[in-house]
Amino acid sequence: MEFLDWDPVYELILDDFGYPREGDERARDVMAAYARPFDADRLDCTGRTVAVVGAAPSLSDEVDAVADAGLVFAASTAADVVREAGYEVDLMVTDLDKNPETALRRTRAGRPVAAHAHGDNVPAIREWFPRFDADHVLATTQAEPVDGVVNHGGFTDGDRAAFLADAFGAASLRFVGWEFDDPTVGAEKAKKLRWAERLLYWLERRRGDRFAVLDGRRDAIEPL
């Protein structure tokens, strides 16, 4: 995903939520002060199926679907559920809002974490990033990328995991633990889930693919 392709979609998101671009850019710059270049070859997905794991309440019932995936990219607390079920997580994708302790343990054990900067999480970046082993952190932004901080597309932790898998060459994406109509979340999170759905619809069309997680839903999705 080139930023020139992502930027118009990013503008739509900013407008819809009323978020200022400057907030994301400030968070990106704070993260850049701690970040180091990440060797993306460590997450080479070429020719492989990547399980993209969301943190929906249904995950505990579905988690065994990751068993035969080539790699597992897990969003936020989904990383804990996958590990507790006895499976490895190849990449944890997080904006540090729920379980940063898991991200800390992973980096100190040499396991990759994609840590995201956005306008609302500067305090978390400042608290946690200096404690991470930065050699094992892929720093991400939804604003324009800078040295050490990349943007491969995506907005929520879950859909960003899918965009990362795509960027790293995944042959197919398997979605586990996803509920776009999760009744347990508040209004803002529900709106974010609608955007995640919309972004995945965009991604599958860019790939010439069909994601099973969108089956029965496409007719109601406003295309980008």
State how far the alpha carbon of 86 is from the alpha carbons of 35, 83, 89, 93, in Å: 30, 5, 10, 19
Give me the tens of pLDDT residue by residue for the chain, a chain 224 residues long: 899 999 999 999 999 999 999 999 999 999 999 999 999 999 999 999 999 999 999 999 999 999 999 999 999 999 999 999 999 999 999 999 999 999 999 999 999 999 999 999 999 999 999 999 999 999 999 999 999 999 999 999 999 999 999 999 999 999 999 999 988 889 999 999 999 999 999 999 999 999 999 999 999 999 99
Q: How many domains does the chain have?
A: 1
Task: Look at the pTM and tell me if it is higher than 0.95.
Answer: yes
Helix (H, G, I), strand (E, B) or coil at 73: strand
**139 membership: H or E segment, kind and range:** strand 137-141
